[in-house]
Amino acid sequence: MSTLEIKGLVASVAGKQILNGIDLVVRSGEVHAVMGPNGAGKSTLSAVIMGKPGYTVHAGEVLLDGVNLLDLPAWQRAKAGMHLVRQYPSEVPGVGLTDMLAEAYAARGRSTDSLAAEVAAEAERIHFPVALLDRSLNVDLSGGEKKRNETLQLALLAPKFAILDELDSGLDIDALRDCSRRVEDATNTAPPGGQPLGVLAITHYNRLLEELHPDHVHILVKGRIVATGGPELADQLERDGYEAFTGGEPEGAVEAPATSSLDDLFAL
């Protein structure tokens, strides 16, 4: 059993404090949904946990089984068992999916002998067209294909914890169902020698949670968790909107636009 513990996390970007003290504990096999309006700090939370450059942490810790991830570069956080499915997956021209996975397996000391077969089996399971497996990573894929591709990587790498930043954005209903069911399966079934996946699922909408059943729902407003409950909290949100939790104030800033440029990739 692994534990991801976020304690008193305060962080800023571009001189502006966005996270104002976040506390969260996720254990293996659990699904925690973090819901919040635009600009609440959801993507910032995922970026700070994973070590995206440009963010300053002022206080707090992010502990993976007691080890403070904030002291590690991004690649070591991934190696330690963290995985992020980003809201807008990057296109990486010239790098194939299997090449990227082979590097990731090698970094984890895993054999790549049966990688091609594993990729093919997982592609079939998630309904990712086999004809697209030879493309450069995410290049010229539709929104749904990108998220299937990202979910395929998540399933094969079998991390301890996954952060899904709006897995549901840019997806049609079928892709949403396939991706969220695959993640749900990973939370219920441990890989050989491993543990079931723990998930922090960031989303605006309840529809993701109809397939990916959260054990706990947290509402993030202005960089703080203002409410925590069970799945019924997401239902309440669907009914009443965020206004009940934001005190009637307008939503935060407009969401940053999609980017697919290489400079958006995490530092290695």
Kindly list the residues in this chain that would bind ligand ADP in the complex (CB under 6 A).
13-14, 16, 18, 36, 38-44, 54, 252-253, 255-256
Given the complex with ligand ADP, which of 39 and 159 has the nearer CB atom? 39
Q: Provide, rounded to whole angstroms, the least separation between the CB of residue 262 and Mg ion.
A: 20
Given the complex with ligand ADP, which of 122 and 166 has the nearer CB atom? 166
Which residue from 56, 87, 181, 72 is spatially nearest to 127, judged by alpha carbons? 181
Residues 24, 31: Cα–Cα separation, whole Å: 12
Given the complex with Mg ion, which of 43 and 187 has the nearer CB atom? 43
Q: How many residues does the chain have?
A: 268
Which residue from 183, 191, 189, 220 is spatially nearest to 203, judged by alpha carbons? 220
Say if CB 203 and CB 167 are below 8 A apart.
yes
Q: Provide, rounded to whole angstroms, the least separation between the CB of residue 43 and Mg ion.
A: 3
- Binding-site partner at residue 214 among ligand ADP, Mg ion, none, CB < 5 to 8 Å by type: none
- Binding-site partner at residue 96 among ligand ADP, Mg ion, none, CB < 5 to 8 Å by type: none
Within 15-54, which residues bind Mg ion (CB under 5 A)? 42-43
Q: Which residue has the tokens 């299937």?
A: 148
Say if CB 252 and CB 82 are below 8 A apart.
no
Within 241-260, which residues bind Mg ion (CB under 5 A)? none
Q: Provide, rounded to whole angstroms, the least separation between the CB of residue 112 and Mg ion.
A: 34
Given the complex with ligand ADP, which of 61 and 255 has the nearer CB atom? 255
Q: Provide, rounded to whole angstroms, the least separation between the CB of residue 41 and ligand ADP.
A: 4
Strand 67-68's sheet: what is its strand order?
A: 16-27, 3-13, 55-64, 67-68
Q: Provide, rounded to whole angstroms, the least separation between the CB of residue 39 and ligand ADP.
A: 4
- Binding-site partner at residue 13 among ligand ADP, Mg ion, none, CB < 5 to 8 Å by type: ligand ADP
With CB atoms as reference, the residue minimizing the distance to Mg ion is 43
Given the complex with ligand ADP, which of 84 and 126 has the nearer CB atom? 84
- Binding-site partner at residue 246 among Mg ion, ligand ADP, none, CB < 5 to 8 Å by type: none
Taking each helix axis from N to C end, the angle separating 173-188 and 143-157, rounded to the nearest 10 degrees, works out to 10
**Cβ–Cβ contacts within 10 Å for residue 135, how many?**
17
Q: Provide, rounded to whole angstroms, the least separation between the CB of residue 107 and Mg ion.
A: 28
Q: Provide, rounded to whole angstroms, the least separation between the CB of residue 220 and ligand ADP.
A: 7
- In terms of DSSP H, where are the helices of the chain? 42-50, 74-80, 97-107, 115-126, 143-157, 173-188, 231-240, 243-246
- Binding-site partner at residue 151 among ligand ADP, Mg ion, none, CB < 5 to 8 Å by type: none
Distance of CA 233 to the CA centre of its chain: 21
List phi, psi (to 5°) of 195: -130, 160
List phi, psi (to 5°) of 146: -60, -45
Q: Which residues bind Mg ion (CB under 5 A)?
A: 42-43
